[in-house]
Structure 1
Amino acid sequence: MSESSEKTPIRGPFPGIGRTRANPKSRASLGTLVTDIPKLLTKLVRDEVEQGKRELISTGTKYGIAVGLFAAAAFFALTLWAVLVTAAVLGLNTVFAPWLSALIVAGAFLLLVIVLGLAGYVALKRAGSLAPERTIASVKQDVNAVKGLGQYE
């Protein structure tokens, strides 16, 4: 039942029996509408803040994944350093085979570091801007609506 067609019963000696009158909130006066503006603006601001929070959480998750990939690349870079140090030590201790195999392992780690680093870079680019762009656009639209600018249905 829509708010404008709601009827409230007039209380009489017998509950549920009697005439009905229009809901007083269905035709609000100008004063009531003006006094509702602060409540509506407060609700609008709260809704925009909630939308911003949701957008930042979504963007933050993408950045978190990118940072995780960079952390994995950093871990393997440190492992690469350990392998390279081992390769240098083994290279000095032997003539050929042990250090060559250590360099092959180091090359594999280097390849892993490059792949993870590039994956982190791509994930960071896909995450986009840190600014909550949809919320900013929505707030601009709200400001324009208050100013009376723009097309609205």
Structure 2
Amino acid sequence: MTSARENSHGNGAGLPRVPSIPLSDDVSTAADQSIGGLVKDATTHLSTLVRGEFELAKTELTGEVKKALTGSVSFIVALVLFLLALPFPLVALALGFNDMFDWEDHPWLGFLVLFGAAIVLILLIVFFGYRKFKRIRAPQRTIDSAKSTVAVLRNRGDDGHDALDRRHP
């Protein structure tokens, strides 16, 4: 088994170990095996490859889901703060209407200043949440690995043609 760091071109710091297929340049061992043994090995290697792809996808998506949850919590906190701050402008508006015709004291101004401060705080939290959502990325290593696996499985021959193409010119 190799680590995920080795499987991801040295870019997987802190990722768990994933299974890999042991590769060998020794052709003599493959020539000594029976067809059944070769099929068994191929099935085992394909199964290991598929499990490794799923493990890589799971590892990458877990990090992205955590970023999405952090951004979602920021938007929820902003919404709660907005709902908690909503009575202030309503009370200020009511007091403003009461004082509109009497210009001596304006206690509603304090409510409006408090509401303005709440809006600034809400906008800061929304900005933080937006930045978290903006940093979410597709699982690029999984996509690249899956594409290369498909390309290898499609082009099994040396000349880039499928084995079926060579039998039927």
* Same fold per superposition (TM over 0.5): yes
* Corresponding position of 2:73: 68
Any idea what the Cα deviations from partners look like across 1:7-54, whole Å, max 9, x if unmatched?
Answer: xxxxxxxxxxxxxxxxxxx93415222331112111111111111111
Cα distance, 1:100 vs structure 2: 0.3
Structure 1 letter corresponding to 2:97: L
Deviation, 1:79, is: 2.0
TM-score (norm: length of structure 2): 0.65
Taking the aligned partners of 1:120 and 1:136, their CA distance within structure 2 comes to 27
- Give the fraction of aligned pairs with identical amino acids, expressed as a percent: 34
Superposition RMSD in Å? 1.9
Partner Cα distance (2:65, 2:40) in 1: 38
Structure 1 unaligned residues grouped into runs of 5+: 1-25
Distance 1:46 1:86 in 2: 60
Deviation at 1:84, TM superposition (A): 1.2
Which AA in structure 1 matches 2:59? Answer: R
TM-score (norm 1): 0.71
1:147 shift after superposition: 2.4
Structure 2, unmatched stretches of 5+, are 1-27, 157-169
2:66 is the alignment partner of 1:42: no
Amino acid at match of 1:27: T
| 8 Å contact from structure 1 (residues 79, 109) kept in 2 | no
Larger radius of gyration: 1
**Alignment deviations for residues 75-121 of structure 1 (CA, whole Å, 9 cap, x no partner):** 11112312111212222344543100000000000111111111111
Q: Are residue 133 (structure 1) and residue 140 (structure 2) matched?
A: yes
Partner of 2:153: 146
- Give, in whole Å, the separation in 2 of the partners of 1:106 and 1:70: 18
2:88 is the alignment partner of 1:86? no
Does the aligned pair in 2 maintain the 1:66–1:121 contact within 8 Å?
A: yes
Q: Does the CA-based 8 Å contact 1:66-1:120 persist in structure 2? A: yes
Could you say which residue in structure 1 is the equivalent of 2:82?
A: 77
Partner of 2:166: none
Distance 1:98 1:76 in 2: 22
Residue 57 (structure 1) aligned with residue 62 (structure 2): yes
CA distance in 1, matches of 2:149, 2:110: 65
Distance 1:107 1:133 in 2: 42
Structure 2 SS opposite 1:97: coil
